[in-house]
Chains A and B, each alone.
Chain A
Amino acid sequence: DVKVTQSSRYLVKRTGEKVFLECVQDMDHENMFWYRQDPGLGLRLIYFSYDVKMKEKGDIPEGYSVSREKKERFSLILESASTNQTSMYLCASRVGLNEQFFGPGTRLTVL
């Protein structure tokens, strides 16, 4: 089975902190994605990566950056966390145009 793991299930940070969310997939997928999920807004794409060191902005990249140094690992970085970044963050991976597999999510609270 494909497995997508996220480093933390719950995270509490303070405003202004630099926050790293880590995601690892074990199926050699080229494509990896970061979404945020908010009630009533569904899943919104923050960034995605189609290869090592390659990235593209999604629909809501402001306030975020990403890093993909190895194929299996995709990191989301909040340079200076703000309260409006309190959300559920979901990582996903996909091979080609097929099924997208999601991790369990990280619920981030910024105080």
Chain B
Amino acid sequence: QQQVKQSPQSLIVQKGGISIINCAYENTAFDYFPWYQQFPGKGPALLIAIRPDVSEKKEGRFTISFNKSAKQFSLHIMDSQPGDSATYFCAASEGGSEKLVFGKGTKLTVNP
């Protein structure tokens, strides 16, 4: 049973474009939604995270949009750069739980 569904599996964007990755969840007890970025040969690293008391969080070119009623959240990368080429994972955790549930990942390629 996949608790966090991530799409698309892969994404190709031109430099300067907007990259959008979507995640959907079923468990309404989830209250922490991070995005991780993983470069080849490295472990994932936290990119940005949101809690459901806000609908949007922005850090530089990266924005999380959160829709609690639709149980969806998305990552937007503005002005995408070749250096953003990586695999992105969304995740979620339930209040009081140490465990994160991860989506299956999106491989982003930004062409120069």
Contacts and interface: CB of A to CB of B under 8 A. Distances in A.
Nearest to A42: B104
A97 B45 contact: no
Contact of A43 (B44, B45, B46, B98): B44
Interface of A: 4, 31, 33, 40-45, 48, 50, 58, 90, 92, 94, 97, 99-105
Counting chain B CB atoms within 10 Å of each CB, which of A40, A50, A90, A97 scores highest? A97
Interface of B: 6, 9, 32, 34, 36, 41-46, 49, 89, 93, 95-100, 102-105
Contact of A40 (B9, B99, B102): B9
Contact of A41 (B44, B45, B100, B104): B104
A41 B98 CA distance: 21
Given A45-B100, A101-B46, 18 more contacts: A4-B43, A31-B98, A40-B9, A42-B6, A42-B102, A42-B104, A43-B105, A48-B99, A58-B99, A90-B44, A94-B98, A97-B96, A97-B97, A100-B100, A101-B45, A104-B43, A105-B41, A105-B43
Contacts, number: 52
Nearest to B90: A42
A48 B98 contact: yes
B42 A104 contact: yes
A102 B89 CA distance: 13
A100 B102 CA distance: 12
B93 A99 contact: no
Given A41-B104, A42-B103, A50-B98, A102 B93 contact: no
11 contacts: A40-B9, A42-B105, A48-B98, A90-B43, A97-B32, A99-B46, A100-B34, A101-B45, A102-B43, A104-B42, A105-B42
Contacts of A31: 98
A1 B30 CA distance: 28
B105 A97 contact: no
